[in-house]
């Protein structure tokens, strides 16, 4: 095949250790082991797709069988062994795809073939790709040969699913975890390829390719190939064109949408989303990108442009940095939970597009605004003097008037309308308050669960952290969350803790009762009763209003 007709991923496939990018430690370790003549029976390369597992396997095979020896490995002009290995036609280097040859009979044929020494090379080498696809019986058949192979036989395995390989096989291999390629390193690599191919692509478009490829060299080259093929002669591929080709949208649209959500601009939010959807963006992709944006808002102060993997440009990074200072962490966490929940809901609805619109509308009822001095939960009925506090913010008075559902009482001058609303709203400030309201609302099941099967770890404003026993109902969290929202008009977060927490309410009552019984047994009253009725037994103690114990 003409080299120019090959796809870029094959045309620029590394042929030697020096061509590998991002795997310098692996290359150095393997080279040193060969030089020291401490060659393992089997190599195992693992990592994500497209980072060079099979390529590295071939390079190792070349290093073991190069006619020039390890100190003078072929670099450009290959010896016959290296050339035939590169072209997958060496008689002593067998490549096998475990995805298509998974059975025990295939492995037995392999073992039978291994009985014969190499024909023209120093080592006979078996390269098994996607080795995790082998059946359990096939792995078992391989074990003995893998542990004590002939001196001339070496195995090289490659897999993306390391957890699926039996531990008995792993323990017989020298394992190498190939890492994702760093964004900056991958960018320079595809820049060089673009120049060699005489392609015209802007750096922002190349950064988008790096972002989409997620550290995979093969993915990056495939995307670059696709981008270059889409260009007319003499035309340069810019970021907008690349986004259309790869089905990605401008992150600045998502940042604008997020800001409008905080401002309560429902019509504008829906318009932006529909514009994004019209670009061909799938609902699941949209929510995953929204989750990524929430991560950046939460952690922007500890990130750099490099650490965002080119997902953001300078302008977007700066915009998030400025806006993040006006958003409370609590709302970001709440948005994250809603986004995860909505992602799961998408599989349950027939029209995912409409589900996303409703998701965005729901988010507009869960907002926090950070003023210059403190975080405030803002009610729809903010007074004019409160609005003045936000005049230097990007959020206008009109904006604040649209924010609903989360209210804060004014300590000094309570709003009359807030007081009216409070008549229909319960305030729960402790675990005891929660049990009491369950009793008042006749939620007997919830009350029973709270008293008998729950151990309180922590109780804070709108956050309950608990541990529990095996008797707790599987619907407890869902039922309690719904009731708390119904009673308080606020969202609550209920989390499970590894800490044991306080003993349950019922256990605590039993302990108190036990102590009272023991104290009563020491009293004169009890002893006088026992003198007259030696067969009597004290089984309970009640306390009357005067604090006197009666049996």
Question: So what's the pLDDT on residue 542?
Answer: 67
Strand residues in 38-189 grouped as ranges (E) = 42-46, 93-97, 124-129, 153-159, 174-177
Domain 183-246 has CATH 3.30.70.1230: no
Report how far residue 527's alpha carbon sits from residue 536's, in angstroms, rounded to the nearest whole number: 11
Report how far residue 114's alpha carbon sits from residue 92's, in angstroms, rounded to the nearest whole number: 10
| Alpha-carbon dihedral angle through residues 184, 186, 191, 193, given to the nearest 10 degrees | 160
pLDDT by 10s per residue, the chain, length 551: 456 667 898 999 999 998 899 899 999 999 999 999 999 999 999 999 999 999 999 999 999 999 988 888 888 788 999 999 988 899 999 998 888 888 888 888 888 888 889 998 999 999 999 999 999 999 999 998 998 899 999 999 999 999 999 999 999 999 999 988 888 889 999 999 999 988 889 988 898 898 888 889 999 999 999 888 887 777 888 888 888 888 776 677 888 899 899 888 889 999 989 888 887 788 888 898 899 889 888 888 887 766 565 667 677 788 888 888 888 888 888 889 889 988 888 888 888 888 899 999 888 876 544 333 333 433 333 333 443 444 444 444 444 444 433 333 333 444 433 333 434 467 788 888 888 888 888 888 888 888 888 888 888 888 888 888 888 888 888 888 888 888 888 888 888 887 877 888 887 777 777 777 777 777 777 777 777 777 777 776 665 544 444 44
**CATH number for region 252-367:** 1.20.272.10
**Look-up: residue for tokens 């002669």?**
233
Question: So what's the pLDDT on residue 263?
Answer: 86
Question: So what's the pLDDT on residue 43?
Answer: 95
Question: So what's the pLDDT on residue 217?
Answer: 93
Q: How far apart are the first and last CA of the chain?
A: 100
The topology (CATH level 3) of 3-177 is Rossmann fold (3.40.50)
Tell me the C-alpha to C-alpha distance, in Å, between residue 251 and each of 257, 261, 324, 490: 10, 15, 16, 31
Q: Which of 354, 351, 413, 357 is nearest to 381 (CA)?
A: 413
* Ordered DSSP codes for 461-475: TTEEEEEE-TTS-TT
Report how far residue 172's alpha carbon sits from residue 54's, in angstroms, rounded to the nearest whole number: 19
Question: So what's the pLDDT on residue 405?
Answer: 39
Longest dimension (CA), the chain: 113
- Token pair recorded at residue 205: 């478009």
Q: Structural domain boundaries of the chain? A: 3-177, 183-246, 252-367, 431-496, 505-550
Question: So what's the pLDDT on residue 109?
Answer: 87
Question: So what's the pLDDT on residue 34?
Answer: 93
């Amino acid at each position: 095949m003409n080299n120019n007709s090959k796809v870029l991923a094959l045309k620029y496939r590394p042929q030697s250790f020096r061509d590998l990018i991002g795997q310098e430690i692996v290359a150095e370790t393997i080279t040193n082991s060969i030089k020291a003549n401490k060659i393992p029976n089997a190599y195992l390369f693992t990592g994500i797709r497209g980072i060079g597992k099979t390529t590295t396997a071939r390079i190792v095979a070349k290093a073991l069988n190069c006619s020039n020896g390890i100190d003078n490995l072929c670099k450009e002009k290959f010896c016959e062994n290296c050339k035939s290995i590169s072209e997958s036609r060496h008689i002593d280097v067998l490549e096998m795809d475990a995805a298509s040859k998974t059975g025990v009979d295939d492995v037995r044929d392999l073992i039978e073939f291994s009985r014969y020494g190499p024909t023209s090379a120093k080592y006979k080498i078996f390269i098994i790709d996607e080795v995790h696809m082998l059946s359990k019986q096939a792995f078992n058949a391989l074990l003995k040969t893998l542990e004590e192979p002939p001196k001339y036989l070496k195995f090289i395995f490659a897999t993306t699913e390391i957890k699926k390989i039996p531990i008995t096989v792993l323990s017989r291999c020298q394992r190498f975890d190939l890492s994702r390629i760093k964004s900056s390193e991958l960018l320079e690599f595809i820049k060089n390829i673009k120049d060699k191919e005489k392609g015209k692509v802007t750096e922002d478009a190349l950064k988008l390719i790096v972002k989409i490829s997620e550290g995979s060299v093969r993915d990056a080259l495939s995307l670059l190939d696709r981008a270059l093929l889409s260009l007319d002669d003499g035309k340069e591929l810019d970021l907008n064109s690349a986004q259309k080709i790869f089905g990605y949208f401008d992150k600045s649209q998502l940042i604008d949408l997020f800001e409008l959500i905080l401002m309560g601009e429902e019509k504008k939010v829906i318009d932006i989303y529909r514009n994004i959807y019209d670009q061909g963006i799938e609902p699941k992709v949209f929510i995953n990108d929204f989750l990524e944006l929430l991560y950046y808002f939460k952690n922007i102060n500890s990130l750099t442009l490099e650490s965002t993997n080119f997902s953001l440009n300078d302008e977007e990074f700066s915009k998030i940095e400025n806006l993040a200072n006006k958003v409370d962490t609590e709302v970001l966490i709440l948005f994250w939970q809603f986004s995860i929940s909505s992602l799961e809901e998408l599989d349950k609805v027939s029209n995912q597009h409409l589900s996303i619109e409703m998701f965005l509308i729901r988010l507009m009822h869960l907002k926090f605004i950070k003023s210059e001095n403190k975080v405030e939960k803002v009610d729809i009925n903010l007074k004019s003097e409160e609005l003045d506090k936000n005049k230097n913010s990007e959020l206008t008075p009109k904006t604040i008037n649209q924010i609903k559902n989360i209210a804060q009482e004014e300590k000094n001058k309570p709003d009359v309308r807030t007081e009216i609303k409070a008549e229909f709203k319960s305030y729960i400030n402790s675990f005891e308050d929660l049990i009491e309201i369950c009793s008042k609302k006749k939620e007997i099941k919830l009350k029973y669960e709270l008293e008998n099967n729950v151990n309180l770890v922590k109780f804070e404003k709108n956050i309950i952290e608990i541990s529990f026993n095996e008797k707790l109902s599987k619907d407890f969290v869902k039922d309690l969350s719904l009731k708390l929202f119904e009673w308080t008009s606020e969202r609550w977060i209920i989390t499970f803790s590894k800490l044991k927490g306080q003993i349950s309410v019922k256990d605590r009552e039993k302990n108190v009762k036990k102590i009272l019984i023991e104290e009563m047994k020491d009293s004169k009253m009890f002893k006088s009763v026992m003198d007259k009725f030696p067969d009597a037994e004290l089984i309970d103690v009640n306390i009357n209003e005067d604090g006197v114990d009666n049996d």
